[in-house]
Amino acid sequence: MPKLDALCGALLAVMACKNDHPGPVQTREDSDLLEAQAAASAAVSEAAQALAAASAPRRRTANDERIEIGAMPENYLKTSNVKSDDKGGPHHSLQLVSLTVSNTSHFPVGNLRGEITWTDVRGASLGTATFLLKGSLPAGETRTFSTADGSLASPSVVEGVAAQSTVSFTRVSLLN
């Protein structure tokens, strides 16, 4: 029996050595496998490049900005110097009398409509009033609109003592 075990062990060792030195059939299989791996690697590389290109930020066009001005005018119209007429007395009343608007877009705008919301010192809303800005605002320019010169109309009055105000635009027309 020990001789049979030794002979089987030797036969297994020879077979293992034979597999370490591939013959022509195994070389073809290895070649096919290497080609398949190379093709898969190329496909993965192409997919990664396509994904990177699709993920890259898209160049914004003038049409993108044109659409955004109508949808989110606050991204292009910045307000400052908001002034209200506080009539004092037993019931404080607030009315918008002037504000400055900067047009950071590449397009002239007009027919600006919006809302102003006043809040008290605790941040609670006192109320909202609508307004209309008359005239146009060229691209890249800043203009002050006021009731005194007729370029601002804000008929709504809100009761209370305001600590802060927030302006938002609800309608903007692009001019050409």
Q: What is the pLDDT of residues 67-116, one digit of tens each?
A: 888 889 999 999 999 998 876 666 678 889 999 999 999 999 999 999 99
Q: What pLDDT digit, counting tens, does each position of 148-169 carry? A: 999 999 988 888 888 888 999 9
Every domain of the chain and the residues it spans: 2-55, 74-174
Q: What is the mean pLDDT of residues 23-28?
A: 64
- Domain 74-174 sits in CATH 2.60.40: yes
Distance of CA 42 to the CA centre of its chain: 33
Strands across the sheet containing 109-119: 152-153, 125-137, 109-119, 164-174
For residue 7, what pLDDT is reported? 36
DSSP 82-130: EEEEE--SSS-EEEEEEEEEEE-SSS-EEEEEEEEEEE-TTS-EEEEEE
